[in-house]
Amino acid sequence: MSDNFWDTVGAESAEKEEPSLPAAKPEQPLSPFSPSLPADSKPKYTASLSDFPVKKWDSEDDAHEIIHWFNQERIKQGRSELDFKFFQRTADVYSFDSENDARQFLDLALDILNDDNGAIENRVLTGWASERDPQWTEDFENGATIWGNIAAALAFTVVLIFGIVSGMIVSVALFSEYSAQDWPTGEAQIVEFEEWVETSCSDDGGCSDTQYASAVFELHCTHVVVDGGPDDYVCGGSPHENADTIMFEHSYQSGFFAHAPVHYMMNNLPGSETHTVAYNPHDPSQVDLRPGFQINWEWFLPVIISVFIVLVISKAENASVKEGFASMRGVMTGQIEV
């Protein structure tokens, strides 16, 4: 026994003091994907898309790689498995075909696995806690979004087709004008000319007037035989008794998109006995009331309007044309229930 009092106290304290234990470590990691282990909390699941044996995320089979791993971990947690439709609905992904879709699935899986109290899962499965926002409201909003996107996709398709058809019509009209710009001209006799106004009214009381004009012409054409080439016609002048004389009647009725605008007919035909027209020398039944190359700018209105509407629909913030096409495919393949 030591004579030193403090030595005695120190020895007794050392005999009573227990050795420190090592820090607790889990026997198995919670995830095969290298979970992070914060010092002050339970291990958290961490994973990236590169941890899965998928080269290109473009099909539902690829999505099941994430779901299979997720359900294995769910079983270890003592919870029930969740299926593809749950992930599809909750992640708002209706056509799994991209790496971005896979990232949303994986983020959702990690959030649920790391949610110890099940708040995320309960909110998704059983609905919102607030009585003002029941689950059917969320379902209704999701359904409205789907059908809104489908409507945008259908409208985009219809307007796009209309714009393409209108563009083809304008192209044909311009080509026809270009082909007829060098046709010969002749004097056509005006047999009859008439103009009138039609008034149309809508249910709200608004009315609009449309001006129309109609004319009947006679062309007197002589058949000319050309050696070594196609037969031609020379048109114009007065009718005569020559056996080679052929008479054609041409009638025009103009409107907004007509080849010969009303104002041109009204300014040039009334009070005149003849009018200069261009004709196809090989087929004088093809007549141009206005000789030379002409462009009616109103022809371009359907094309311009169609392009504008297509741009508005494609840039709309509350509807997605791309998601609309994906939703239509999901409805047809049975991936989306309606």
pLDDT tens figures, 116-142: 766 666 666 554 433 444 444 455 455
Instruction: Provide the token pair at 170.
Output: 């304008």
Task: Report whether pLDDT(175) > 80.
Answer: yes
Closest Cα to residue 43, out of 26, 27, 67, 68?
26
Q: Beta strand pairing status for 274-280 and 283-288? A: antiparallel
Q: Beta strand pairing status for 232-235 and 245-254? A: unpaired
C-alpha–C-alpha distance, residues 258 and 130, integer Å:
63
Q: What single string gives the DSSP state of each residue in 89-137? A: HHTT-SS--SHHHHHHHHHHHHHHHT-TT-HHHHHHHH--SSTTS-HHH
C-alpha–C-alpha distance, residues 104 and 93, integer Å:
8
How many CB atoms are located within 10 Å of the residue 195 CB? 15
Task: Report whether pLDDT(68) > 90.
Answer: yes
Helices 301-314 and 135-180 pack at an angle, to 10 degrees, of 150
Q: What is the mean pLDDT of residues 239-263?
A: 67
What is the pLDDT at residue 181?
A: 85
Residue 159 contacts residue 313 (beta carbons within 8 Å) = yes
Instruction: Provide the token pair at 172.
Output: 């044909």
pLDDT tens figures, 207-250: 888 888 888 888 888 877 766 666 788 887 677 665 456 666 76
Task: Report whether pLDDT(336) > 50.
Answer: yes
Q: How confident is the model at residue 40 (pLDDT cuts 50, 70, 90)?
A: low
Report the SS3 class of residue 243. coil
Q: What is the mean pLDDT of residues 314-319?
A: 77
What is the pLDDT at residue 310?
A: 87
What is the pLDDT at residue 335?
A: 64
pTM confidence score: 0.46
Q: What is the mean pLDDT of residues 177-198?
A: 86
**114: CB partners within 8 A, 6+ apart:** 44, 45
Instruction: Provide the token pair at 204.
Output: 């709200």
Q: How confident is the model at residue 27 (pLDDT cuts 50, 70, 90)?
A: very low
How many CB atoms are located within 10 Å of the residue 277 CB? 22
Q: What is the mean pLDDT of the chain?
A: 75
Q: How confident is the model at residue 49 (pLDDT cuts 50, 70, 90)?
A: very high
Q: How confident is the model at residue 192 (pLDDT cuts 50, 70, 90)?
A: confident
Percentages helix, strand, coil for the chain (3-state, rounded to 5) are 45, 20, 40
Q: Taking the CA of residue 202 as centre, how many other CA atoms within 13 Å lie in the half-sphere pointing to its CB?
A: 4
What is the pLDDT at residue 39?
A: 47
C-alpha–C-alpha distance, residues 67 and 93, integer Å:
14
Q: How confident is the model at residue 206 (pLDDT cuts 50, 70, 90)?
A: confident
Neighbouring-strand partners of residue 215:
193, 252
C-alpha–C-alpha distance, residues 222 and 220, integer Å:
7
C-alpha–C-alpha distance, residues 90 and 82, integer Å:
11
Residue 296 contacts residue 259 (beta carbons within 8 Å) = yes
Q: Does residue 292 come out as left (phi exceeding 0), alpha (psi in the -120 to 50 range) or beta?
A: left
